[in-house]
Each structure stands twice: as C-alpha cells, then as structure tokens.
Amino acid sequence: MKYSKNSVWENNDYYDVVVVGGGHAGCEAALATSRLGFSTILFTVSVDSIALMPCNPNIGGSSKGHLVREIDALGGEMGKVIDSSFIQSKMLNKSKGPAVHSLRAQADKARYSRNMRQVLEKQERLEIKQGEVAKILTEENKIVGVMTYSGAIFSCKAVILCTGTYLKARCIYGDVAQNIGPNGLQAANNLTDSLKELGITLYRFKTGTPARIDGSTVDFSKMEEQKGDEKIQPFSFTTNPADVQIDQVSCWLTYTNNETHSIIRENLDRSPLYSGMIEGTGPRYCPSIEDKVVKFADKERHQVFIEPEGLETNEMYIGGMSSSLPEDVQYRMYRTVPGLENVRITRNAYAIEYDCIDARQLKSTLEFKKINGLFSAGQFNGSSGYEEAAAQGLIAGINTARKLQEKEQISLDRSTSYIGVLIDDLVTKESHEPYRMMTSRAEYRLLLRQDNADQRLTKLGYEVGLIDEERLNKLTLKEKLIQEEINRLENTHIGNSQRVQELLIENKSTLLPSGASLADLIRRPELNYSILAEIDEERPIFPEDLADEVIEQVNISIKYEGYIKRQKKQVEQFKKLEDKKIPEDINYDEIESLRIEARQKLKTIRPSSIGQAGRISGVSPADISVLLVFLSGV
C-alpha cells in the first residue's frame, strides 16, 4: 500500500452499498440497489470508462440476446440503453426455431457508454466516484466498508465486486507486456491481496481482442456488405418498435487466405501464447486467429467481419481476428486480407490476463458463502461478455438490496432463464476459461425464448420492485389475450369448403378430407396464424401495441405444442430435485458412508439443493441416493 498513515481518513457520508467497478455488471448492480432504496456509491478507475465496451461493438447475439431480454424483463437497463444507441440490428437464426431467435445490435460504443452514464448520473441515491478500491474491510466476516488506494475509508453494509478484467491486468502482444487494463486504462493492482487475506481463491484468466483500424483506409469494394434487418425489433419490452426504425450502418465481410495463414504460422514462435509468456487460460469459444489457424489447419480461410465502432469515429473493429502476435506481424497479417491492403491500425490487438475468482465460492444469489454482505458479478466471477456481466450485476444488485431489506434473496433456477443457467453453471461447475453463454447450455431452451422473457420474469421484477404496475398490467393483459386466442383456435372448427381448400392449395398444403380446427392448420409447417386470416371470420382485434406479440406467442404455442409439453415435463422433474433443499449447516463429515471424493466436492461447493448437488462433477447418482437417505433422517 502506497499511502502513508496520515493520509488515511474516514469519509462520514453515509452509504449502504459500495459497488466496485463501473462496467456492465457494476452499472446494473448500482442501478438496482439505488432504485430499490439504498444509497450507493460506485467506484471506477476512470469515470470516462463507465459502461465501456473494450472488445466487440455489439450487444446481444446467440443466447446473449436472450440475456439482454431477460435483464430487461426483470427491470434492468442494458436493453433500453442499446435501443437508444444501436446503429444496426439483426435477428439471428430467423430460419430456425423460435427458441434460438436471437437479437444482436451493433452499438455506437461512445453513445452506449454516454447514455448509460447519464442514466446512472440521473439516478437518485447513486453516486459515482473515480478511485481505486484497495481493501475490503470486514469485522467477523461481515462487510463494514472499503478503503481506497488514497487511504479514504467508506463505511457500508454491503459491497458488490465488479472489477471485470482490471484486477492485476496485464496486456500482451508479442514480447511486449504492460501492466495495464483494457484500452490502456489503469489496472487495479491492490485489491487482489485484500481478497486473498479474506480467504478468497483466485484464478488467472486470459482473453483477447482484435485490432481497431481506421475505416478510411479500408477498401470496402472488395468486401461483401452486411446489412441490418428491414424491420427492427427493439431489445426492451418498453421500447416502442416505431422508435427504433433507424437508418442503419453496414458491416462488411471479408476472408483470410493462405498468405495470412503463412505469415501467422511463420511467426508462431513470437506469439506469447506459444512462447509461454501468457500463463492465463484462454477461452475456447473466442480463439485468436493464430489459434484457429493452428487448430483448424485444413481450413483455407476464416471469415472476417469489419464492424463500425460508432457514428462519430472512423474506427472499425476486425471481428474474427483477435491476436496477441507482435505489432509488426499484426500489420503484415491484417494487410493480406482483401480490402485491408493499405489498412492503418489505430489500436493493436492484444491478449489480456487478469485475476478473477473461482465462482464456486458464491451462493446462487451471488453472495460469498464465507463473507456476509460481499457480492460479486461479471468477469470477476469468471464469465466473459457484456451481457453475462450485466445479468449477474442485476442479480447481485437485487440480492444486495434484498439482504438489506431483510427479505429472502432471489435465485433463478435453470428452468426459468438463461440468467439462471449462467449463474448455476458459474457457482456449480469447475471452469478453467472465461464462461460464455451458449444456447446449448440451456437444457430447457424451448421454454426460455427471447420472445417470452417477459412472461418468465416480469412478475418477479415487479415483486422485487424494479418493474412498475403499469408494465405488469400490460403483461397480464397480454397473457390473457394469448390464452383466449389459443383456446378459440383450438375450438374453432372449419369445414373443407372450397374457400378453405383454395387457400390450402395456394400455400402448397394438403387438402382437408373433412373438417379441422384452426389450430390443426396452424400446426402445419407451411401455414401460420396470418395466412389463415381470410378463413377465420371471428378473429378478434388486439390492441395495437400488443398485436404482434400476441400473434407470435399464439403461433409458437400452437406450432411447438408437443415439444413444449415435453420440456415442461422435464422441468417438473427438474424442479422436484431443486426443491429438495440441503440445510445450510449440513456437516458432510458426519455422513461417513459418503464416498470421499463426493464428500470433498460437496464440502467445497455446499450446494443448496439436491438438484445442484447432482450437477457437480464427481458426484454420482449413487452419492445422491446416499445423501437423500441421510437428509431424510435429518
């Protein structure tokens, strides 16, 4: 610690909550606690880096789009801010089933950051402070405050750690390594020791980002233009779709080639990853271009997306080519890509290493098991991605508030949301790389669609206090309309009249031998609700702002009924095990007949339910049986 004894002073302003970090997790966390009535101070190493997007310029994408919708449904901010700052939007996987439709928007990074900061600044009970938190202060394992690098002590009741990739951050390319955070920002070098003193286990993870380039030096005529959707859907359930039909900016697609790959191969020995200079564990889902070239040696080319970073800058992002190769190699490598022959690099690609925790030290409420009042969220918990961070920040914020309200904390299970899957995976499974949300991780994804996030979570958001009554009433009405319309379609039978048959022929559908319900027709892959309009005479008129959503839900519910029913059954099954709670004070050493491996795993992770226990690797179904036997006697 650099400060002298006489620089230590006590700040006497009153705060309930200290949030450490102003990234996507920190913003949601601080907004949640202050909105729920608690005075909150958010520390950031630089006020200018609030809600910064130091890597890719998008929000959403496969399964991450789901997270944003869920954040919004619970009363978080990310969806609203991206709706006000995007420059292109696309619904991904539109040709696939509704469960994997996923919204992705290109953000104007500066505007996103500015808009979020403004929301924070306008928020009552929330204060922003530039400074580095260097020490967590506890008494008898209970949070009492924090101390900053400058020696100031801030008393509080709870702390939410959202330090992102800043803890002992080290940026590396080639043989150049600097102890700085993302985007050249100052790293936070002091907190780690304090965390270790509290008995917290830390990991060291690694991630990376591609170069940023000057768009005016790119030849777009050699690339394929990638436009946004014609009809744009907003992220937030509260955004009026009419307000987001903007003029969009394009992205551009180009490819690497043999020459690119040769340059990479020839210089592999200069890569810090291969020379052993980087010790952190990198993410498999986000490989650097050198990783791709080595691992998928038979691929002749890899896609490269050139994406704008904003409207008021020439800078562009080279999606698909993150790297930690030396600066000179970066220039040569990027310039082999068609359209980038004369490219000027504004910021080098780099890999970054940072301290984070083994999240199995957390409860599914995101509070540390061992430290009363200490919560954490985001990349600090071993995840990756803006959306994953924001989702955790929101939950950590809500639970901090609930703790101070002396209410039961919330814990979303895997059948309710991607957020639930994300947190359950983080706190249950051992991970050696930053965790990214993926649609394949959600076993009940047919029920966890981006289109029904409101039906899944908004009631909870209301109970928590982040959703107002008006929004809840609108949802209740929507649900009623959906149910009534499904019932009507199931019970409306039509004959095989000429009009009906003609419509079927027109849509390349088989003719009706006798009558059928309208729902039966909607079940046919080639038909849907809108097509049947002309043979459906009693069709109700829905309120304008709900019509599209109601129709979408009706279509999905009817078309995928069989699959949905099956998943609901699986969920029932799952819930039974989730509902079998394990007492917090259980002493696994008393269960002598439990296998040693299982006992050790259970002792470290201390699962809250039999269901969670079953997901721990190394705990077998037989172990679970034995555990059940003992719990029944407790």
Q: Is 566 in the site for other proteins (CB under 8 A)?
A: yes
The answer to the question of residue 510 lying near other proteins (CB under 8 A) is: no
Pairing mode of beta strands 212-214, 224-226: unpaired
276: left (phi over 0), alpha (psi -120 to 50) or beta: left
Q: Which of 276, 513, 540, 633 binds other proteins (CB under 8 A)?
A: 633
Shortest Å, Cβ 356 to other proteins = 19
| Site pattern 518..557 for other proteins (x: CB under 8 A) | -------x--------------------------------
- For the bound state, the minimum distance from the C-beta of residue 227 to other proteins, rounded and expressed in Å, comes to 13
Distance (Å, rounded) from C-alpha 605 to C-alpha 616? 8
559 annotated as a binding-site residue = no
* Binds other proteins (CB under 8 A): choice among 255, 577, 586, 604: 577
Does position 575 interact with other proteins (CB under 8 A)? The reply is no
In the complex, the smallest distance separating the C-beta of residue 248 from other proteins, rounded to whole angstroms, is 16
Q: Is 257 in the site for other proteins (CB under 8 A)?
A: no
Distance CA 365, CA 370 (A): 13
Handedness of CA 31, 35, 36, 38 (dihedral sign): positive
Q: 146 or 421: whose CB is closer to other proteins?
A: 421
Write the CB contacts of 14 (distance below 8 Å, at least 6 apart in sequence): 39, 155
Q: Is 486 in the site for other proteins (CB under 8 A)?
A: no
284 assigned to a ligand binding site:
yes
By beta-carbon proximity to other proteins, the closer residue of 498 and 593 is: 593
Angle between helices 327-334 and 258-266 (to 10 degrees): 170
Which residue carries 């955070």 as its tokens? Answer: 181
CB of 320 to other proteins, least distance (A): 5
Q: Is 319 in the site for other proteins (CB under 8 A)?
A: yes
Choose, by CB under 8 A, the member of 560, 571, 582, 608 that binds other proteins.
560
Stretch 71-130 residues interacting with other proteins (CB under 8 A): 92-93, 95-97, 99-100
Residue 253 Cβ vs other proteins, minimum distance, rounded to whole Å? 8
446: contact with other proteins by CB under 8 A: yes
Q: Which range touches other proteins (CB under 8 A), out of 160-168, 373-381, 546-554, 592-600?
A: 592-600
Closest CA to 391 of 369, 371, 410: 410
162 is in an annotated binding site: no
22 marked among binding-site residues: yes
DSSP letter at 53? -
In the block, which residue shows the tokens 């068609």?
Answer: 338
Q: How far apart are CA 35 and CA 133, in angstroms?
A: 23
586 contributes a contact to other proteins by CB under 8 A = no
Per rule CB under 8 A, is residue 316 in the interface with other proteins?
Answer: no
Quick one: which of 111, 261, 302, 403 contacts other proteins (CB under 8 A)?
A: 302
Distances (CA, A) of 601 to 137, 317, 359, 594: 29, 43, 14, 11
Q: Give the Cβ contact number of residue 591 at 10 Å.
A: 17
Q: Is 282 annotated as contributing to ligand binding?
A: yes
Considering only residues 14 to 73 of the shown chain, the ones binding other proteins according to CB under 8 A are: 56, 62-63
Nearest distance, CB of residue 158 and other proteins, angstroms: 33
List, edge to edge, every strand of the sheet that includes 133-139.
9-11, 152-155, 142-148, 133-139
23 is in an annotated binding site: yes
CB nearer to other proteins: pick between 275 and 600: 600
Query: Does 295 contact other proteins by CB under 8 A?
Result: yes
Q: How far apart are the C-alpha atoms of 209 and 385, rounded to whole Å? A: 12
Q: How many CB atoms lie within 10 A of CB 322?
A: 25
Query: Can residue 439 be called a binding residue for other proteins (CB under 8 A)?
Result: yes
Number of residues that bind other proteins (CB under 8 A): 59
Cα–Cα distances in angstroms (integers) from residue 55 to residues 293, 317, 321, in the given order: 21, 8, 12
CA-closest candidate to residue 553, choices 576, 526, 522: 522
> CA-CA distances (angstroms) from residue 452 to 146, 160, 397, 482?
40, 29, 23, 12
- Shortest gap between Cβ of 258 and other proteins (angstroms)? 16
What distance in Å separates the CA atoms of residue 191 and residue 17, rounded to the nearest whole number?
18
Rounded to whole angstroms, the Cα distance separating 437 from 317 reads: 22
To other proteins, the closest distance from the beta carbon of 338 in angstroms equals 18
Q: How far is the CB of 363 from other proteins (least distance, A)?
A: 22
Q: Please identify, using beta-carbon distances, which residue of 315 and 443 lies nearer to other proteins.
A: 443
CB of 75 to other proteins, least distance (A): 28
CB 292, min distance to other proteins, A: 6
CA 353 to chain centre: 20
Percentages of the chain per state (helix, strand, coil), in multiples of 5: 40, 20, 40
What lies within 8 Å, CB to CB, of 403 at 6+ separation is 158, 367, 373, 409
- Is 499 known as a binding-site position? no
Whether residue 334 is annotated as binding a ligand: the answer is: no
Pick the stretch among 30-38, 263-271, 360-368, 565-573 that binds other proteins (CB under 8 A): 565-573
**Rg (the chain; Cα; Å):** 26
Centre a 10 Å sphere on the Cβ of residue 4 and count the other Cβ atoms it contains. 8
Instruction: Answer yes or no whether residue 284 interacts with other proteins by CB under 8 A.
Output: yes
Q: Which is nearer to other proteins, 42 or 423 (CB)?
A: 423
Q: Could you say whether residue 592 binds other proteins (CB under 8 A)?
A: yes
Does the annotation place 296 within a ligand binding site? yes
Phi, psi torsion values for 316, nearest 5 degrees: -135, 160
- Confirm or reject binding of residue 320 to other proteins (CB under 8 A): yes
d(CA 373, CA 596): 32
Stretch in the footprint of other proteins (CB under 8 A) among 115-123, 389-397, 410-418, 608-616? 608-616
Residue 501 phi, psi (nearest 5): -60, -40
Work out whether 329 is an interface residue with other proteins (CB under 8 A): no
Is 567 among the residues that bind other proteins (CB under 8 A)?
yes
142 carries a ligand binding annotation: no
Check if the beta carbon of residue 31 is closer than 8 Å to that of residue 120. yes
Does 227 help bind other proteins (rule: CB under 8 A)? no
Binding test (CB under 8 A) with other proteins, winner from 275, 487, 573, 600 = 573
| Residues 239, 72: Cα–Cα separation, whole Å | 10
Annotated binding-site ranges: 21-26, 282-296
Annotated binding-site ranges for FAD: 21-26
- Chain residues in the site for other proteins (CB under 8 A): 56, 62-63, 92-93, 95-97, 99-100, 284-287, 292, 295-296, 299, 302-303, 305, 319-320, 322, 429, 438-441, 443, 445-446, 525, 560, 563, 566-567, 573, 576-577, 592-595, 610-611, 614, 617, 620-622, 624-626, 628-630, 632-633
Annotated binding-site ranges for NAD(+): 282-296
